[in-house]
């Protein structure tokens, strides 16, 4: 049973790891937070493998866990932010960011900046939408109706377009 669970986990991770990492990057301040958050998501997915019932695709189930972990992380991080001091003066040489490897694409950088400005609910919707999930999957993950997701996406697109036009 454990071997089967491990195989399912590894196959699902192989298929969804880049998408999960991008979702984590939306909810984190920097590359280190993104990596920590991604690791936290993987731990929660692994611990919850026995609870997966197959009512949705395993990718959809993983996205739901990722969003819950990200929202808890964001909430906890915001509470602790005043108590922490960032050491921005420390640099690490030869470190290449997985999140920002498209440095030349100004539109993509503007999109990321604008997505980070959205409220938490809108971030969740746009993160899933940008990963190519259909309205039905997004509604299942977030517990919203498909119609509500469609309306929210239309409004979010408008907000993002306005924000990107301001930045460019």
- Decide yes or no: CATH 1.20.58.220 for domain 1-101: no
The residue ranges of every structural domain in the chain are 1-101, 102-168
For residue 101, with 0-12 CB atoms within 10 Å meaning exposed, 13-18 middle and 19 or more buried, which class applies? exposed
Which among 149, 100, 101 is positioned nearest to 126, based on CA atoms? 149
User: Residue 22: what pLDDT?
Assistant: 93
Better-predicted residue by pLDDT, 168 or 162: 162
Which residues lie below 8 Å from residue 115, measured CB to CB, with a gap of 6+?
Answer: 26, 123, 126, 127, 130, 160
Reported as a single tens digit per residue, the pLDDT across 131-164 is 999 999 999 999 999 999 999 999 999 999 999 9
Reported as a single tens digit per residue, the pLDDT across 24-80 is 999 888 889 899 999 999 999 999 998 988 888 999 999 999 999 998 887 665 555
Are the beta carbons of 69 and 37 closer than 8 angstroms? yes
Instruction: Write the class of the CATH domain 102-168.
Output: mainly alpha
pTM of the model: 0.70
């Amino acid at each position: 049973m454990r071997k089967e669970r491990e195989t399912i986990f590894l196959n699902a991770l192989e298929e969804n790891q880049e998408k999960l990492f991008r979702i984590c990057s939306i909810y984190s301040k920097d590359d280190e937070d993104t990596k920590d958050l991604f690791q936290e998501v993987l731990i929660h997915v692994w611990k919850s493998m026995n609870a997966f019932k197959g009512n949705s695709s395993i990718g959809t189930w993983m996205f739901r866990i990722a969003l819950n972990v990200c929202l808890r992380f964001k909430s906890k991080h915001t509470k602790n932010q005043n108590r922490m001091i960032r050491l921005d003066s420390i640099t690490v040489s030869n470190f290449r960011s997985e999140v920002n490897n498209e440095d030349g694409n100004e539109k993509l950088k503007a999109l990321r900046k604008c997505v980070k400005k959205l409220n938490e609910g809108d971030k969740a919707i746009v993160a899933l939408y940008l990963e190519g999930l259909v309205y039905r999957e997004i509604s299942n993950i977030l517990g919203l109706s498909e119609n509500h997701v469609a309306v929210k996406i239309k409004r979010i697109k408008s907000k993002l377009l306005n924000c990107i036009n301001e930045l460019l």
